[in-house]
Amino acid sequence: SGKSRNHAFGLAIGGGAGVGAALAASKGVVEGAYTAGIAHRKARGLGIDMPIVAAIRAIVDDGSDPEAEIEKLLARRAGLEGE
């Protein structure tokens, strides 16, 4: 949704804003920014590959470059989920 805080946060990050600036500009809590790391740790603990969650966590928690994370996602071998 265009009114979603998570959506607005992602657009800000994609537009070049830093995580801190994007969070500060939010009109409320950006749940996804705070739960990406939790979801990533849970998935890893269960042996579940969640590359998009891993990319979001890297951007939000580690300051990874969004373009670099997109390149990593696009470089993955194509195949069926669960292979």
pTM for the full model?
0.85
- Residue 68 confidence (pLDDT) above 90: yes
What average pLDDT does the chain have?
92
Q: What is the pLDDT of residue 83?
A: 59
Q: What is the pLDDT of residue 3?
A: 80
User: What is the C-alpha separation between 10 and 46, in angstroms, rounded?
Assistant: 27
49 phi, psi to nearest 5 deg: -85, 115
Tally of CB atoms within 10 A around 75: 7
